[in-house]
C-alpha cells in the first residue's frame, strides 16, 4: 500500500520562509493542527495549522471560503474553538484539506497575498488543548517498560500471562489533561503502611515521575455495538501528539490493586499542542515486527499493513531544575528512544482492540500509548526505570541528581522524525512543571 502523494515531495518549498529552514520541524511537508489565540487578549481560541514559525488561522481562512469541495467542507468545520468537528469528518476530508493547504502554502501559490494576513507568529500565540477530550484511555504497549517495572515487583515473573496477548489499558481522567506549559501541584494521598504499621501514610507524593508516551487522537468514531476492523482502524486516527502521563509512584503502589491506577494518575497529564496527522507521518512508516518466539496476535488484531504499521519517531526527554535555571544552564537530556523500537502493539491494533467489544469511540477521544522505553540504558521512558526504583540516582550535569522529581522541576519531552533527504517532521514539545503541594 502506498501512503505517499504530492504533499510528501521533499523538494516542496513554502512562501513562508521559516518553513524552509533546515530542521525547523514544521516544513510544508508537516502541517500539524492545533488550537490557538494571540497572546494577551481575550479573543476566542480557534484552529490553526503550523507552518515554519507561524500559525495559519483556519477559522479566518474558512470565512474566505476558498474551496467548495471536501477541502472546503473540512475547512468550514474549523470555524469553531476546537478541532472535534474536523476530526469527525473522516480521512477523506482530512487529506483533502491537507492537500489544499499544501498547495496554498507552496512557493508560487496564487493564494499567498490572501493568506499572509492570516499568519500569527508562534512566539505571539497561546495554545490550548486542541480538542474537547470526552474520554481518555491509557495503554501499556512497551514490552521493555512493562518488563523493567515488572522486575522491580516480580523479579522471577516480570510479565503477567496476558501481556503478549491483549493490549492492556485503563480508563484515565480527561478533565485534568492540559497543554504544554502546564503547571500542577504535587499530588497528595495515601501511601503504603510501613512494614510494622497498620495505618497507611498520608501526605505529599515523594516518588513523583514522568512517563513519555505518545497520544493518539481519535477522528471519526463508531456507533456503540460496532467494531472497527483492524484493517480500517488507522482511518479513525486523526493524528499523534506527545503525552506526559505524570505518575505518583508511591500512591500507585498502595492503591493499584485490585482495580489499577486511580489517584496516582488522575491529577495531571500534559500533551503537546500540535497534532501531526498520519498523512504527514507517512514517509516515516516502518515494518511492525514481533519476535517469532512471541505469541502472534489473535486474528482480529492481525492487519494486512504489518510491513508499514510502525512509525519511526525519535523521542527525547530533558530535565530542568530550579538550580539549572538559576545558573542559566540548558536542560539536560536524560533519555532517548524510538517509538517503533518501544512498541509491542501498534496504533491500529489499539483502535481495533478498544472497539472489539462494541465500545463506542468519539471524535476527540485520546488514547495514550503507555510509557515508551527502549531496551538499553539511557532509553528509559520514566525515572522509575532510569533510577531502578530509587536505587540508582540519575546524575545531572550541574551537580544535582534525581531519583524522582522535586518541586519546580520541569520535564520537556520532544519527538521528531528524520531521515536523509527529507525535511525533519516535529511533533513539537511537551513541557510540564511540578509545583509544591498545596496546603
Catalytic site positions: 145
Matching residue, cell 516518588? 207
How far, in whole angstroms, is CA 4 from its chain's centroid? 23
C-beta of residue 176 within 8 angstroms of C-beta of residue 129:
no
Matching residue, cell 478533565? 175
**Could you give the CA distance from residue 2 to residue 5 in angstroms, rounded to a whole number?**
8
Amino acid at each position: 500500500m502506498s501512503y505517499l502523494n504530492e504533499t510528501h515531495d521533499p523538494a516542496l518549498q513554502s512562501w513562508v520562509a521559516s518553513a524552509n529552514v533546515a530542521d525547523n520541524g514544521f516544513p510544508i511537508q508537516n502541517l500539524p493542527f492545533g488550537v490557538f489565540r494571540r497572546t494577551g487578549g481575550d479573543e476566542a481560541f480557534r484552529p490553526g495549522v503550523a507552518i515554519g514559525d507561524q500559525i495559519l488561522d483556519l477559522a479566518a481562512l474558512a470565512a474566505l471560503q476558498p474551496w467548495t469541495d471536501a477541502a472546503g467542507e473540512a475547512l468550514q468545520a474549523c470555524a469553531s474553538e476546537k478541532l472535534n468537528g474536523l476530526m469527525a469528518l473522516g480521512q477523506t476530508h482530512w487529506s483533502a484539506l491537507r492537500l489544499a493547504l499544501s498547495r496554498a502554502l507552496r512557493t508560487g501559490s496564487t493564494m499567498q497575498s490572501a493568506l499572509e494576513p492570516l499568519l500569527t507568529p508562534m512566539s505571539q500565540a497561546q495554545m490550548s488543548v486542541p480538542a474537547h477530550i470526552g474520554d481518555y484511555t491509557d495503554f501499556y504497549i512497551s514490552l521493555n517498560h512493562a518488563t523493567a517495572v515488572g522486575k522491580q515487583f516480580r523479579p522471577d515473573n516480570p510479565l503477567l500471562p496476558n501481556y503478549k496477548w491483549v493490549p492492556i489499558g485503563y480508563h484515565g481522567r480527561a478533565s485534568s489533561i492540559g497543554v504544554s506549559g502546564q503547571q500542577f501541584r504535587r499530588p497528595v494521598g495515601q501511601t503504603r503502611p510501613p512494614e510494622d504499621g497498620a495505618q497507611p501514610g498520608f501526605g505529599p507524593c515523594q516518588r513523583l515521575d514522568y512517563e513519555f508516551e505518545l497520544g493518539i487522537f481519535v477522528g471519526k468514531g463508531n456507533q456503540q455495538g460496532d467494531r472497527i476492523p483492524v484493517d480500517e482502524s488507522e482511518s479513525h486516527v486523526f493524528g499523534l501528539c506527545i503525552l506526559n502521563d505524570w505518575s505518583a509512584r508511591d500512591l500507585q503502589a498502595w492503591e493499584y490493586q485490585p482495580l489499577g491506577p486511580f489517584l496516582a494518575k488522575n491529577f495531571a497529564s500534559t500533551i503537546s499542542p500540535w497534532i501531526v496527522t498520519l498523512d504527514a507521518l507517512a514517509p516515516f512508516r516502518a515494518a511492525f515486527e514481533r519476535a517469532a518466539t512471541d505469541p502472534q496476535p489473535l486474528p482480529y488484531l492481525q492487519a494486512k499493513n504489518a510491513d508499514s504499521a510502525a512509525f519511526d519517531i525519535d523521542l527525547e526527554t530533558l530535565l530542568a531544575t530550579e538550580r539549572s535555571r538559576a545558573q542559566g544552564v540548558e536542560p539536560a537530556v536524560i533519555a532517548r528512544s524510538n517509538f517503533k523500537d518501544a512498541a509491542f502493539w501498534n496504533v491500529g491494533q489499539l483502535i481495533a482492540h478498544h472497539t472489539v467489544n462494541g465500545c463506542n469511540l468519539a471524535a476527540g477521544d485520546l488514547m495514550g500509548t503507555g510509557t515508551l522505553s527502549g531496551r538499553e540504558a539511557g532509553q528509559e521512558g520514566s525515572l522509575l526505570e532510569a533510577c531502578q526504583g530509587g536505587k540508582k540516582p540519575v546524575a545531572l550535569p550541574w551537580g544535582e541528581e534525581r531519583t524522582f522529581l522535586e518541586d519546580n522541576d520541569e520535564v520537556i519531552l520532544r519527538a521528531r522524525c528524520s531521515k536523509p533527504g527529507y525535511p525533519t517532521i516535529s511533533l513539537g514539545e511537551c513541557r510540564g512543571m511540578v509545583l509544591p503541594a498545596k496546603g
